[in-house]
Amino acid sequence: MSAEPSEPAAKSLENSSAPVRAAEPASPGRRRSSPLGGQEATRSERPWGQHSWLCQTAGAAAPSGGSEPHEVGSVGALFLGCIADDFTGATDLANNLVRAGMRVVQAIGVPAQPLQADADAVVVALKSRTLPAGEAIAQSLAALRWLQGQGAQQIYFKYCSTFDSTAQGNIGPVAEALMEALGADFTIATPAFPDNQRTVFKGHLFVGDVLLNESGMQNHPLTPMLDANLVRVLQGQCRRKVGLIDQQVVAQGEAAIRERIEHLRAEGVGLAVVDAISNDDLMRLGPALKGMPLVTAGSGVAIGLPANFGIAPSSSASELPAASGLRAVVSGSCSLATNRQVQAFVQAGCPALEIDPLQMAAWQAAGVDGVARALAWAEPLLAHGPVLVYSSAEPAAVKAVQAQLGVEAAGAMVENTLAAIARGLVALGVRQLVVAGGETSGACVQALGITQMKIGPQIDTGVPWCHAQSDAAPQGGLHLALKSGNFGTDDFFSKAFLNLA
Ligand code: ADP
């Protein structure tokens, strides 16, 4: 049942069998169109001769470690083949590439099939950041082999802009395994992304105005970052020697950077941390990376790479099919920014349904279908504008839930519930879906059977709209925005849909 339009909308499912009250919303460059054949034709126009050694390196590389190479089909050479160590990080990278003019597809895990789309870059999203190093390496090499099978010209290993890793890895071990597989004797490493307040100076990573180890990251539950000196951190994870290309060199531009690289190589350095304190630094770095078989970085370096392939920013790179259908938000992130976004949506009078994990657990035990209740709440509201279903909660409430259910069980239960609700919403006709939370996004995308997404226009830094085919949305697929917990402005849940209109 619906509340008065002016009433704040958020309610928990537990109070009602029809299940909640909810308020009505306060107010409601060169795109190549042909698929595979066309892509091949266009690519053949590119000046491959300029960096043919790179094509050979990528194409001829033998996999090392992991399993035997397997047969992968090729649909024409890609410029960039990217391997990301987590899901929303992959989207963040894809977003930067699109803004720099590339047409990008994000694959969820290593695809079993050849690429089915016309793209300049593919980002393979893994979930390897905190896996044991051996597993992270095996997955990354499988992604590399698939990308090589698609003809990728340069490989980009993407990690977090706060260099999230344990003392053992996985940034160093995965980077070195990729180097070995590619026959590369040198690569760079930098998480710098000034647009997102991540800068590197004299090899030290700053988050905003403070050093990494004073930024809160020293308390991260899985990857506490206790040292801001990335040369030291990376050296602790690598067999090869780690060096530094400092900002004075970067500021001088391509020739100076290349000279420094040659100097470091002569000294036996295999990986060099690169300083960058502004986008200009990243744009100066880009040309110096032309032809380097492997680049390792956060998402920031991506802004300077497309120009190496003759690609300039263009709105056509982010073109998606026209959006239609109903709109919804599913939020399982409990991060500060997401909690503010939930609050803003509720305060704007938009319909919102809170999922209480303890109530859900009790219903599950009693055989009550909480997902069906949530969908019954949403169904009559959807026609009037976006609805929000959320488990997002303040830290004390999350801790209380975790104390009763256990940390992992609580997380899994909430993720499964929200994923089933997302699928149900799509079955009700939702074709524009915002999901908040990295793990939550992974669960929803999996529940929707999505394996590839085309990356579209940016909503906020690091969060683009995407378009994906899904068996749950058989005709025309659906538009998705997958938001990492702390990304986005407070009005994100409303603003996102306006961006798509
Ligand atoms: P973020 O990107 O903010 O880290 P994630 O989706 O990655 O968000 O992680 C949030 C985790 O918290 C998920 O595992 C989710 O299931 C869990 N969670 C969400 N809401 C609650 C809650 N109310 N109580 C306990 N755990 C929750």
Whether the per-residue pLDDT at 345 is higher than 80: the answer is yes
Residues 370-388 have pLDDT tens digits of: 999 999 999 999 999 999 9
CB neighbours (10 Å) of residue 474?
8
**For range 155-159, the mean pLDDT:** 98
Q: What are phi and psi of 107, to 5 degrees?
A: -100, 140
**Atom of ligand 1 at shortest distance to CA of 391?**
20
Choose one of 414, 444, 486 to mutate for the ligand 1 pocket test, by most ligand atoms within 8 angstroms of C-beta. 414
**For range 282-292, the mean pLDDT:** 98
Domains and CATH numbers, the chain: 80-318 (3.40.50.10840), 326-500 (3.40.980.20)
How much distance in Å is there from the Cα of 333 to the middle of ligand 1? 5
pLDDT winner (highest mean) among 68-72, 315-319, 336-340, 370-374: 370-374
At 326 the pLDDT is 98
Inter-CA distances, 495 with 33, 348, 352, 388, Å: 29, 12, 16, 13
Determine the angle formed by the axes of helices 279-288 and 254-266, rounding to 10 degrees: 60
Q: Which residue type is seen at 460? A: D
Which of 349-353, 473-477, 489-493 has the weakest average pLDDT? Answer: 473-477
Q: How far apart are CA 453 and CA 455, in angstroms?
A: 6
Q: Is the CB of 357 under 6 A from ligand 1?
A: yes
Q: Is the CB of 332 under 6 A from ligand 1?
A: yes
Taking each continuous run of H as one helix and of E as one strand, the counts in the chain are 16, 19
Our CA angle for 472, 477, 483, nearest 5°, is: 90
CB neighbours (10 Å) of residue 65?
13
Q: Is the CB of 339 under 6 A from ligand 1?
A: no
User: Which value, in Å, is the radius of gyration of the alpha carbons in the chain?
Assistant: 23
Percent of the chain at pLDDT above 70? 84
At 26 the pLDDT is 31
Inter-CA distances, 272 with 58, 65, 137, 157, 266, Å: 21, 24, 20, 14, 13
Whether the per-residue pLDDT at 3 is higher than 70: the answer is no
Q: What are phi and psi of 265, to 5 degrees?
A: -60, -45
Whether the per-residue pLDDT at 115 is higher than 90: the answer is no
Whether the per-residue pLDDT at 34 is higher than 50: the answer is no
At 28 the pLDDT is 26
Q: Is the CB of 170 under 6 A from ligand 1?
A: no
**Do the Cβ atoms of 147 and 141 come closer than 8 Å?**
no
Which residue would you say has higher pLDDT here, 174 or 75?
174
**For range 228-241, the mean pLDDT:** 98
Q: Is the CB of 199 under 6 A from ligand 1?
A: no
How much distance in Å is there from the Cα of 443 to the middle of ligand 1? 11
pLDDT-derived band of residue 438, with 50, 70 and 90 as boundaries?
confident
Q: Residue 67 in 3-state DSSP?
A: coil
The reply to whether the predicted model has a pTM over 0.85 is: no
Our CA angle for 182, 263, 188, nearest 5°, is: 40
Residues 50-103 have pLDDT tens digits of: 222 222 222 223 333 333 333 333 345 699 999 999 888 899 999 999 999 999
Q: Which residue has the tokens 């992974």?
A: 442
Which of 185-189, 330-334, 391-395, 436-440 has the weakest average pLDDT? Answer: 436-440
